Structure 1
Amino acid sequence: MKVLIVDDEPMIIEVLQAYLEKAGYAVISAANGYDALYLCKEEKPDFIVLDLMLPDLSGEEVCKRIREYSNVPIMMLTAKTAEEERIHGIVIGADDYVVKPFSPREVMVRIEAILRRTRKEVQGDLYSFNNGQLNINHVSHEVKVRDQIVSLTPIEYKLLVGMAKYPSRVYSRLDLLEKVQNESYEGYERSIDVHIKNLRKKIEVNSKEPEYILTVFGIGYKFGGKRDVSDSSI
């Protein structure tokens, strides 16, 4: 597994690299946004640790550009502690965030938890809903809506699959947070709303009148798609 660290502070790169390499990961690094974008395309890392404050492009801009073509998990490092800043990071495609100063051990735990989720084997190959309008391929982690591939972040994919397993089952925000984060993660529960909003934009014909990800007022969400009888088991 290969991890790309993007930070303009050599000490941070040095410390994280030492921890990652000790755990058996290959590490590459970049000190600015443009180098990070180049390495992401050329090296195809399995995980990116991305600082928000870079000397050229901002971390937010780097994240946006990567999300145009890749679902690689991204953890943001930030000195910003405001709730709005954390939510903004989630909106633009980050999978997790750590506030500076941070514990390298905590970063390692979060990286390994996210990688376990993204590489975990899922039973079944393909299943579909609404007469083939929505298809999910577990082998390629490919999602198609009306025969068009849509690009989901790892968290969006996890939410979709988790809810699609049990259509009509109602999930609270905490239920969904536990599905996409490891049990020890003290996540911001309302961040699920941001992921749901982004997921709806990608898979719904009209995100304001969804047919797949439905709101259950006062409780949370449920999946409203109708399973096609000819699909494989989830």
Structure 2
Amino acid sequence: MNNALVLIIEDEPDIVDILRRYFEREEFRTVSASDGDTGLSHHMRLKPDLIVLDVKLPDLDGYEILANIRQRGNTPVIMVTALADDLDKLQALRIGADDYVVKPFNPLEVVARAKAVLRRARNGRTRVIRLGALTIDPDAHTVVVETGTARNKLSLTRTEFRLLVHMAQSPNRVFERGELVDACLPEGDAVDRTVDSHISKLRRKLAEAGVERQLSGVRGVGYSLVDGDE
């Protein structure tokens, strides 16, 4: 994790300075941008390992920037904002944020969360998983469903993909909701109903691709991904 490059997209110089000092103290490299266009340019050109992204910016807002980043790839993103409402958090997570920190924040916490997000992203790099009709490639961030002669590539959010990979690594096991929160969603910012929402959307996408029953719910417990569409 040493020398990982962190892109800070934030228009308040004092906050940028604080984050830069704390990240560099932990041997991260940093680069900053005070507006969305510059931030996206830095992302394209420098390919940072992680992005710390403010929501309120002078041109594009953080949600627009996050959506643009997700169209390009899977760079981990931590949102840092003064907006503390649960709906704002859920919107950021739905678009694909890896974590969400509310101002005023402890910079040590931001750095700790950055380390956790990077560990999670790097630990997710593993072999291609073949499970029933599913072929999951964690490195390429792709899921292909093959049913008969049909071959469909699923379009999943980052959280949906993390949930699918986590369950696919232990097929037929029932995962409790709390366990899925801890393993796949940002620390401290998710609850059981958030998992239910992501799973519901994931199940709908699988069903639309022809996989009706491979992802199932166990009443009062959680969810299981079975080895075959039984």
Verify the 8 A CA contact 1:91 1:198 in the aligned structure 2.
no
What are the residue-to-residue correspondences of 1:111-122 with 2, within 5 Å?
111-120=114-123
Change (3 A) 1:29 1:211: farther
Residue 84 (structure 1) aligns with: 87
Q: Does 1:178 align with 2:182?
A: yes
Normalising to structure 2: TM-score of the pair? Answer: 0.84
CA distance in 2, matches of 1:200, 1:67: 21
Normalising to structure 1: TM-score of the pair? Answer: 0.83
- Offset from partner CA, 1:133-189 (integer Å, 9 cap, x none): 321235x3442313565565554443222211222222221010121258xx32321
Change (3 A) 1:6 1:194: farther
CA distance in 1, matches of 2:65, 2:48: 14
Q: Find 2:217's aligned residue among 215, 218, 221.
A: 215
Verify the 8 A CA contact 1:72 1:153 in the aligned structure 2.
no
Note the C-alpha offset of 1:37: 1.2
Note the C-alpha offset of 1:207: 8.0
Q: Does 1:158 align with 2:166?
A: no
**Paired letter, 2:15:** I
Q: How many residues align?
A: 220
CA distance in 2, matches of 1:151, 1:41: 22
CA distance in 1, matches of 2:204, 2:61: 25
Change (3 A) 1:66 1:197: farther
Change (3 A) 1:206 1:150: closer
Verify the 8 A CA contact 1:90 1:195 in the aligned structure 2.
no
What are the residue-to-residue correspondences of 1:168-207 with 2, within 5 Å?
168-180=172-184, 185-189=187-191, 190-200=193-203, 204-206=206-208
Note the C-alpha offset of 1:2: 1.0
**Paired letter, 1:52:** V
Q: Which runs of 5+ in 2 are unaligned?
A: 146-150
Change (3 A) 1:111 1:42: same
**Paired letter, 1:126:** V
Note the C-alpha offset of 1:196: 2.6
Aligned-residue CA RMSD in angstroms? 2.6
Note the C-alpha offset of 1:40: 1.1
CA distance in 2, matches of 1:2, 1:153: 24
What are the residue-to-residue correspondences of 1:93-132 with 2, within 5 Å?
93-120=96-123, 125-130=127-132
Question: Secondary structure at 2:208's aligned position in 1?
Answer: coil
**Paired letter, 2:123:** K
CA distance in 2, matches of 1:122, 1:92: 21
Q: Does 1:167 align with 2:178?
A: no
Question: Secondary structure at 1:94's aligned position in 2?
Answer: coil
Instruction: Determine which structure has greater relative contact order: mean sequence separation of CA pairs < 8 Å that are 6+ residues apart, divided by chain length.
Output: 1
**Paired letter, 1:105:** L
Residue 52 (structure 1) aligns with: 55
